[in-house]
Every structure is written in C-alpha cells, then in structure tokens.
Structure 1
C-alpha cells in the first residue's frame, strides 16, 4: 500500500515544485497542476501539468496544495474545477500554504463533508524543498497523518505531527515569528557593532563559534516546565543579568546614535519574558506586626527565607520578627539595600562567615549587589575590621556567590 499510494501536487512554485521533484526522485512521480502550462519544464522528473485540480484528484491519493494565499486555496480545493469536484472518499488534501487558522478549519470542514482527509502542513525551509530537505509541520487527525505518511516522507526529511487540525499552521506561524524576530535582532545587533567600528562578520564569527547549533535561541523553552512555566527562582536569577546587559546595549545605542527599538522593547518587557510580571502579593498591613515582619524578612533575604521561623514561638524569634524586621527593617528612612550594607559591616566585625553568607545571598537574590561589588566590599571591610576577620567575610561572600552561580541555568556553551 505504501508503494502504491499516488501523489499529486498543485502549485509548482519554489515549494510545490521542489516537493514534486523530491517525490519524483523518490520514485513516486506526482500528478501535477499549475496555472502556468510550462511550470514543470525545469523540474527534473516531473510530468507536464494536468488540466485542472479535479484531474489531479482523479489520479491521486494524497494531494499537496502549495498555493500562495487563502483565496487560491479555496479555489483549488472547492472551486468549479477544484479537488472536491472529483474527490472520492479516502483522498487526503495536504495544505502547504500559510493561511489563518479560521481558513484551516473552514477548508477542513469542507473536506470532511466530502469524506476527504485534510492536513494543514507548514513547511520549512522552503529553499530545500527539491532536496528532501524540509520539515513538514502537521495538524490533523492521527489516522489521516498515518495514511498520508509514506507520501510525506518521500519529500520531507522530518514529519512532525503537532496535534489536531490547525496545530501545524499555528506551529509554522510561531516558527515564522522566531525567524523574522531573530532577523530584526540581528539587524539591530549588526547596526550596533558597525557603528562601533566592528565588522559584523566578526559578530557572526563569535556567534557561530560560541553557539554553533543555535541552542541559545531556544534556551528559554528548555528552562520551562511541561506547562510552559518558567520557575520563578530561575526568572529572578536571570533578571538582573538580563536587564543589566540590555541596559548596556541601550546605552551603547544611544552613545552611537543607533536606533534600537527592539532592544528597548525587550528591556522593558524583561519581566514579562521571564514570567515575573504577575502582580506581586500585597504586603501585609503594618498593624499585623508578625505577618509584616515575616514579609520584611523575605524582602531582606529572599523569597521563602521566613519559612524557617514562621512557627517559632520563643521570645527571641518573636522579637526578631516583630521588632527587628517589622519595626526596624520596615522603616522608611533607609532602603533594604542600605540596611543590608550596614548589617554586612557588622557581620564582618564579628567574623561570622555563615552570617555574611546569608546577607550576601540576599543581595544577590534581590539584585542589589553584584558578585564583583560584594568582593569589593570584602576588600573595603578588611581595612576596617582587620585582615583576619576579613577572611571570614571573604569565606561567607565566596560561598554565597558560588551557591548563587550554581543555581543559575546553564549557558548554551555549558550544555554542550
């Protein structure tokens, strides 16, 4: 059955013509149609076009429709001489044109009325169609996919079934967003380096060498869970670096007089990208002293830090939460960052590396101090607390930086 399935192709442009050539090379010579009578002249192994789509339907089991737009797809499938005029139950129509999802569902319903199977099939890259080099991105019923698969595999290097009708088209459209969005990214990046006196070819060399398989492009998807959710802890870790680097790009563009609207958009949307844009839970009222103290403890040392003392009922723990954090750290006279630096200085004087580590970790988690700034703090404190006590500060800061770095998602280079 696999060998006897007959293939048809309608539309012999770059994609449809390439599909027809690949089918012919595979030994499944297709029946073809195109409004241009000489469309197959330069297509190796492909016969001349038949007189109408209906004639293709009469001699085919699986027909690829590679037209340009929705109106052409409607005409070819349901027009006066369209496929459905001569279709018999069991025929499968595979739409290769990129059209809106409502059109996909409309055409799928028309085919179903005639007992004809329908698959929406995005394809990429189009310039590899004649070399069995495209990916077929399918939407449709699993049974229909299985029936058409032998023909699809004769012209596609890989067939990816994405789901029910419309799923293939949605995936192809999303793929186009990645493609054209990355083009805009490259255009702005090239403009930046060119304005800085750098040959963009050097930028391409760096990217090709550091990330030859393009893993960074899809790294965000790899960090998300099965439901498409990026863990909050990961987002919080990435955000300071992301905003810092994009801020540097924005500053460079301004200094060089380069228009970089995408940089600004990505920078301002960083929290949404990292799924950190949800409205934060409102802080407890200050008159709920204990709850507010726990809230300020998390503000000082990172989300979840207060969980270790929430059930504490001894006097020292109670006063730590209700007085130290609710009434001192919670005052408006100094920022949390200001109070952290003061506390870091005190911890350095007592030579307690574990306390220094807690304070330094809070600075890293909240993005208030970078690793380099914390290291600089150790050197500064050494001259005031003494070199021996500074060793404890160095130990605590180093432990915090190492733990924070280890929790970061791996880079594309590290994943290799």
Structure 2
C-alpha cells in the first residue's frame, strides 16, 4: 500500500517546491497547489497546480502544507476551498510551516473533527528540500506517523518522531535557537580573531579540522540524563576550565576593544549552564516519633546539609545519644529557634576557645542564612568582652575560616566578575 499512497503539496516555495521535486524524483508524482498558477514551471517533474487545496485533498492520501505562517495554514486547511472541504477520513495533513504551538493544537483539533490525521512537521535544512536532504521533525499520533511515513521518506533523508502533537514544532523551534545562537557566537568569535590579526577563515579551518562533525556543539546535551540533569561531578569538573577560557576571552576582548555581550552573558551564567546553582529537591522532614531520623535532620539544620552523614550509621552510645537526645529532643524543641540555640552554642564554644567548633557553628549559620558574615564578626567582638581576648582569638579564627570557606563556595556576583 505504501507504493499506492498519493501525495499532495500545497505551497511551492523553496521548501514546498523542493519537497514536490523530491517526491517526483522518487516516483510519487504529487498533486500540487499554489496561489501562483505558474509556480511549478521550473520544478522538474512536478505537474501544473490544481485550482484549490480541496482539489489536492481529493487527489491525495498525504498532503504536505508548506505555507509561510498561521493564517495561510488556517485558510489552506479550513478555508472555503480548504482541504477539509473535500477531505475523507484517512487523509493525513502534514504541516511544514513554523507556527506557534497553540496554532498546532488548533489545526490538529480541526482535522480530528473531520477524521483527518494531522502531523506538525518541522524541517531542516530547507535548502536541501529538492535533494531529499531534509530531516522531517514530527509531532502527532504514532498511527498518523506510520501512515504518512512512506510518503515522508520519499522527500526526507530522515524521519524523526519527537512525540505528541506540537512536539515536532517545539523541536524545530529549539533547533532554531541552537542555530541562531551559534551564529551570534561565531560573530563574536570572528570579531575577536579579526581584531587580533587572524583571518577568520583560519578560525573556521581550525574548528572544521578539530571537530568535523560538530559534536562539541551538543556535547553538554549528550552528557545530561533523560531528565536533562547534568551530573554534579561533571559540572564541577568542567567549571574551572570553562570559566578560565571565558575569562581569557573577556580579557582579550577588553584589550582589543571588541564588544562581546554573548561572552559576558555566558560567563555570568556559567554555573547555571553547568547546573551548579540548582538547589536540590527538598527532603521531607522526618516525623518526630522517628527519633533517630529526626535527630539527624536537626543536626543538618544546625550545622548544614550533609553534616549528619558522619554519624548516621554510628552505633556507639555517645553518637546515638547526641543524635537521639541532643538534636532530636533538645535542638528539636519549639521553645527556641535554631538560630537562638546556635547563638547560645556559639557563646559556649567561645568560652572554651575551640576554633574548630566555632567554625562548624558559624558555617551552619551562613548556610542557613540565619547570620551574615558581618553579624558573625560582631558576635566575635561581643563575646571577646565576656570570654577574654585570648579566647576570642580562637573564636575569631573559627568565624573567619567559616566565612572564607562559605564565600569561596559561592558563585561570583556580576559586580565581582566585572572587576
């Protein structure tokens, strides 16, 4: 049956005309229509246009609609002489125009109401349409894809079903972002090379030779899992090299007087690109009657996420008592906030001059956002007058170490980056 399927094409511009030529070359001569009566004159093997989309529907099983945007698409499909005026159940409409997703769903619903299949189909690259060289990027029901596939294969080098209705259009739009975004990247890179006295053709030669298949462009995408998550270890491994190289690009641009707004934006968003600033999903608070689990939770509330991992599997009585009593039943009481208890504990740590304990307490305050660096420094001064200056030196050491470590772990602010 695939050999007997009849094809139609509406709109004989670069893409539609190319699809029609490819179909004719494959032996599946299409019925065509265009608002220009002579549109097929220079299209090898393509017959003269029929008088309306409705006539194409009568002569076709699968119709490609290759118009400019939403309004012509609506008119071709549901207008006075549109496809649906003469469509019979079993016809499949394949929309090649790039339109907004609500329009895709609107047209799909119109076709479904007439028992007509509908596929949104992004295509690329358009200049290869007449050489069977495009990729057909489909959204729609699997049944419609299966029914149209023999016709699609006669003009596309690859047919990719991306998901339900709208998925093809969304994939095409996302692909365009990559295309035009890379054009801006190339523009800035070429400007840097030219300003440094390098012929941009040499830059192209280096890129073509080092990465002939363009794998680097999509490397980050391939490293993500099925949910689009980049493993944290990968991001942390890449970040130093990425920021170093981007800083070098910014320095060069500054020295040469070249404007590189995209480089600046990429550098500013580096941690977000590598998913290093994404907060982990919140862990539900354990019930208080699960004393050990609640104690571990309160320990992390007091001293920062992950602190409890050092003792959670410990079975010795002291560690168990620390978790089950000190944190679950004392730190977990409602009479004082965690911040209040932290300040009390900080005062005790200051009296025994334990800088390492002070650092742990201060770090918890910074991580939880309970105390700022300036507030912690103020606490050191206050405690010095009550504990003695020698003990306060240890307190100052612990607080300073916590502040330095916390600051080093934070992404740079825009102001810092521009200095």
Asked whether the two chains share a fold, i.e. TM above 0.5, the reply is: yes
Match of 2:12 in 1: 12
Deviations 1:328-383 (A, max 9, x none): 575233477799xxxxxxxxxxxxxxxxxxxxxxx9x9999xxxxxxxxxxxxxxx
Contact residue 250 and residue 264 of structure 1 kept, 8 A: yes
Match of 2:358 among 301, 309, 327: 327
Contact residue 359 and residue 402 of structure 2 kept, 8 A: no
Q: What is the 5 A alignment of 1:253-268?
A: 253-268=253-268
Instruction: Note the C-alpha offset of 1:325.
Output: 3.8
1:223 and 1:199, CA in 2 relative to 1: closer, same or farther beyond 3 A? same
What is the aligned residue count?
A: 329
Q: What is the 5 A alignment of 1:360-399?
A: none
Match of 1:378 in 2: none
The secondary structure found in structure 1 opposite 2:121 is: strand
| Bigger Rg, which one | 2
Alignment partners' CA distance in 2, 1:160 and 1:281:
33
The secondary structure found in structure 2 opposite 1:332 is: helix
Deviations 1:283-315 (A, max 9, x none): xxxxx99759965xx9xxxxx698456656699
1:325 and 1:289, CA in 2 relative to 1: closer, same or farther beyond 3 A? farther
Match of 2:73 in 1: 73
Match of 1:245 in 2: 245
Instruction: Note the C-alpha offset of 1:199.
Output: 0.8
Alignment partners' CA distance in 2, 1:230 and 1:224:
4
Alignment partners' CA distance in 1, 2:107 and 2:189:
41
Match of 1:175 in 2: 175
Alignment partners' CA distance in 2, 1:254 and 1:119:
49
Alignment partners' CA distance in 2, 1:289 and 1:213:
52
The secondary structure found in structure 2 opposite 1:276 is: coil
Deviations 1:60-99 (A, max 9, x none): 0000000001001011111111111111111110000000
1:87 and 1:291, CA in 2 relative to 1: closer, same or farther beyond 3 A? closer
Alignment partners' CA distance in 2, 1:262 and 1:102:
31
Alignment partners' CA distance in 1, 2:401 and 2:281:
22
Instruction: Note the C-alpha offset of 1:162.
Output: 0.6
Instruction: Note the C-alpha offset of 1:227.
Output: 1.0
Alignment partners' CA distance in 1, 2:160 and 2:298:
57
Instruction: Note the C-alpha offset of 1:237.
Output: 2.0
Instruction: Note the C-alpha offset of 1:231.
Output: 1.3
Alignment partners' CA distance in 1, 2:250 and 2:199:
20
Q: What is the 5 A alignment of 1:37-186?
A: 37-186=37-186
Match of 1:410 in 2: none
Instruction: Note the C-alpha offset of 1:234.
Output: 1.6
Alignment partners' CA distance in 1, 2:87 and 2:11:
18
1:84 and 1:334, CA in 2 relative to 1: closer, same or farther beyond 3 A? same
The secondary structure found in structure 2 opposite 1:89 is: coil
Instruction: Note the C-alpha offset of 1:277.
Output: 2.2
Instruction: Note the C-alpha offset of 1:201.
Output: 1.1
Alignment partners' CA distance in 1, 2:312 and 2:144:
58
1:325 and 1:204, CA in 2 relative to 1: closer, same or farther beyond 3 A? farther
The secondary structure found in structure 2 opposite 1:77 is: helix
Match of 1:209 in 2: 209
1:306 and 1:132, CA in 2 relative to 1: closer, same or farther beyond 3 A? same
Alignment partners' CA distance in 2, 1:324 and 1:234:
34
Alignment partners' CA distance in 2, 1:225 and 1:306:
29
Instruction: Note the C-alpha offset of 1:166.
Output: 0.3
Alignment partners' CA distance in 2, 1:182 and 1:64:
30
Instruction: Note the C-alpha offset of 1:193.
Output: 0.8
1:280 and 1:116, CA in 2 relative to 1: closer, same or farther beyond 3 A? closer
* TM-score under structure 1 length normalisation: 0.73
* TM-score under structure 2 length normalisation: 0.72
Name the Cα RMSD after superposition: 3.0
Worse-matched range after superposition: 306-315 or 167-176 = 306-315
1:336 and 1:166, CA in 2 relative to 1: closer, same or farther beyond 3 A? same
Alignment partners' CA distance in 1, 2:200 and 2:311:
55
